[in-house]
């Protein structure tokens, strides 16, 4: 397997292709990571969330990190890490237009962008009473790596998939 760095352009291309990442925040020397959906635009990522631990923590420490990837198998993958700063869009300093922009960005990525966070409640009658938060991450840095299999590993993988397809050969 050969692992190489990818360019900033390739990092942004991955962030445009995928919509799920793992968001890391930390408080009092304790890290916390959760999978979340996001939408990318240059220099920013947008999110929709229910109010809970990650929001409480990011309000206290806005320095965050997000990792996203496309994994073919352990020899063939691409991974991007973003660091940045949390900003909540529900607060008065952000206008309705900015929340609307976040909503449009998320809808462009997935028509049911609101479904996962709200699904957690289980009880539909409670949905209207749930506190929700639009937030964004202003990107400070991005780095990415790509792994590609060496010829030997590719041949081994090819053999495994052939054996799976033709077990009696």
Ligand X SMILES: Cc1cc2nc3c(=O)[nH]c(=O)nc-3n(C[C@H](O)[C@H](O)[C@H](O)COP(=O)(O)OP(=O)(O)OC[C@H]3O[C@@H](n4cnc5c(N)ncnc54)[C@H](O)[C@@H]3O)c2cc1C
Residues within the interface to ligand X (CB under 6 A): 20, 34-37, 48-50, 52-54, 116-117
Comparing CB distances to ligand X, the nearer of 24 and 116 is 116
Residue reference for tokens 């968001």: 23
Residue pair 69/79 in contact (Cβ under 8 Å)? The answer is yes
CB of 22 to ligand X, least distance (A): 9
Q: Which residue is nearest to ligand X (CB)?
A: 52
Comparing CB distances to ligand X, the nearer of 116 and 154 is 116
CB of 20 to ligand X, least distance (A): 5
Comparing CB distances to ligand X, the nearer of 2 and 56 is 56
- Which residues in 160-169 are b (16+ Cβ under 10 Å) and which e? eeeeeeeeee
Phi first, then psi, for residue 94 (nearest 5°) are -100, 135
CB of 41 to ligand X, least distance (A): 16
Q: Residue 32's CB: how many other CB atoms inside 10 A?
A: 14
CA atoms within 13 A on the CB side of 105: 23
Comparing CB distances to ligand X, the nearer of 27 and 157 is 27
């Amino acid at each position: 397997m050969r692992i190489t760095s990818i360019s900033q352009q390739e990092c942004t291309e991955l962030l445009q292709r995928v919509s799920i990442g793992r968001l890391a925040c930390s408080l009092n020397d304790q890290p916390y990571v959760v999978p979340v959906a996001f939408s990318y635009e240059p220099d920013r990522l947008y999110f929709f969330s229910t109010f809970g631990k990650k929001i409480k923590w990011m309000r206290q420490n806005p320095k965050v990190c997000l990792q996203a990837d496309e994994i073919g198998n352990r020899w063939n993958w691409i991974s991007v890490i973003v660091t940045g700063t949390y900003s909540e869009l529900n607060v008065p300093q952000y206008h309705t237009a900015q929340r609307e922009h976040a909503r449009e960005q998320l809808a462009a990525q997935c028509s049911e962008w609101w479904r996962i966070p709200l699904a957690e409640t289980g009880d539909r009658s409670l949905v209207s009473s749930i506190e929700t938060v639009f937030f964004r991450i202003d990107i400070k840095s991005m780095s990415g790596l790509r792994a590609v299999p060496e010829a030997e590993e590719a041949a081994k993988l090819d053999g495994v998939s052939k054996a799976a397809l033709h077990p009696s050969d």
